[in-house]
Amino acid sequence: MSPDIIQDAEELFGSTGSPLSGSLDSQEGLVREARARFPQKPFCLVEQWTILRADLTPEEIAKVHAANHLPLFLFAHKVVEDSQQRFQPGDWVRSSMCVTFDEGFMFETKNTVYVLMGQGHEQTASLKTIFSFF
């Protein structure tokens, strides 16, 4: 294993980050809410998740915001339900960059709304690390 891969693994998995809470609502209730709030967009309910905050320079953050994005990505160890069956229950998923993050559990990207269930974490990581594992 190369030293870069080991360093990336240590950056991403070396700590649990800051604890966060997603929704504690039932799966059925979250499906209804996702469909009501984002009727034209596929959704994916996930557990055991981490919000990855990209470690960017101020200039890079300005570019991300200018593109109407937030410097956030989602990694979830467990898919609970995917409305388009792109992922099977139990699969893992990594999102593209976030567009909106509402109420601490609706994580929207350009193509999908990820509904964060239960407890999770947030941690900072470099883009290189975020993209190297997924």
For residue range 71-110, what is the model confidence (pLDDT) as tens digits?
Answer: 999 999 999 999 999 999 999 999 999 999 999 999 999 9
Judging by DSSP bridges, how do beta strands 98-102 and 119-125 pair with one another? unpaired
Domain that holds residue 98: 3-132
Res 8 pLDDT > 70: no
Res 122 pLDDT > 60: yes
The model's confidence at residue 1, banded by pLDDT at 50, 70 and 90, is: very low
pLDDT of amino acid 13: 53
The model's confidence at residue 16, banded by pLDDT at 50, 70 and 90, is: low
**Domains: count for the chain:** 1
Res 15 pLDDT > 60: no
Length of the chain: 134
Neighbours of 71 (CB within 10 A): 18
